[in-house]
Structure 1
Amino acid sequence: MVRGRPRPRSGAADVRPQEPARTPPAAPQPADGAQEGAARPEAPPSRFGAERTAAFVDAVVAIAMTLLILPLMEAAGELGTEEVTAGAWLGHHSQQLFSFVMSFALIAMFWVREHQMFRRVERVDTPLMWFTMGWLLSIVWLPVATALSGQAPRATPSPRASTSAGWRWWG
């Protein structure tokens, strides 16, 4: 005897009725071939955090401002290889320096204005995010435009060319 119950005899049936085994309903199989039991990724949110967006904008603007100086850094290598004075170098690269300062100031003004705007933003929805990406595209393009304008030939013609053009107009 085991704890007050009679021991079943061999070949005798158990006195307690057994419940039929229940099988859980079959889970639908994922159509994309994912493993069963794997967590499905949630749909991306339609809104973005304003702080995270502002941090991303800050990073892109900082990189763009840093890229502005690279053409001047390349040109500064001339100071070590040739016998060029700093004054002569500044005069020779004045157009590049002017383009750098103007672009740096322009990006800085845009960045300050963007921070003033984002102070009031709590959440960024998808249209505002795409607008911000377009704005960042213009910021990222500025180092390229700056390098191109710094390398462009000067717009002021030589005195000889202006004199001959003047004579052609009068004559």
Structure 2
Amino acid sequence: MKKQLFSIILATGLLVGCAELTNLQKMVVPANFKQSDLVNKKWYCSSSYATWNLLTKEYYTYSPNGRVVSDGTMRILKDGREFNYKIHSEGIWQLNGRYLFERATKASVTKNYSVNAKQALKANPKLAKWEKEMFLILKTMETSAKKGAIREIETLTPTELTTIFASSYVICAKQ
């Protein structure tokens, strides 16, 4: 379960119809897409996983010098309680055709629990055990983010960027 959940957390969305998607990408992403289309803009990116009651919201900034910074939150709902985490990464990025490569040089996940969530953990040992295991999984993201990720650009408009990583989507809007 941990490996499966970890894969889902690293990925964001669901990929369907590979052959049809490839044809769609050729129509939607401009052939002349270049790095300047991403840089010096703040991108708000969100993804959700209904199966895991997981939602991420992040702001990415791509600099012309190949640096990328992202800050955001991850929310997981469990047993009617909301567990929030702050996520931050700094790293490098590079564009190669339709592919966006990102590798973190720094990454962190920190707890940002409400008073109600903290009280629920104290009152429910089973929930506290789940939370401890979940946080350990999330902390491994700090290390694995340094290995890098290649995202395929699916769509690009002046206000929206959608990328695919593994089997998931990340949808971003220019701020």
Judge same fold: TM > 0.5, yes or no.
no
For the pair shown, the structure with the greater C-alpha radius of gyration is 1
Task: Provide the TM-score with structure 1 as the length reference.
Answer: 0.28
TM-score, normalization by structure 2: 0.28
More helix per residue: 1
Which is strand-richer, 1 or 2?
2
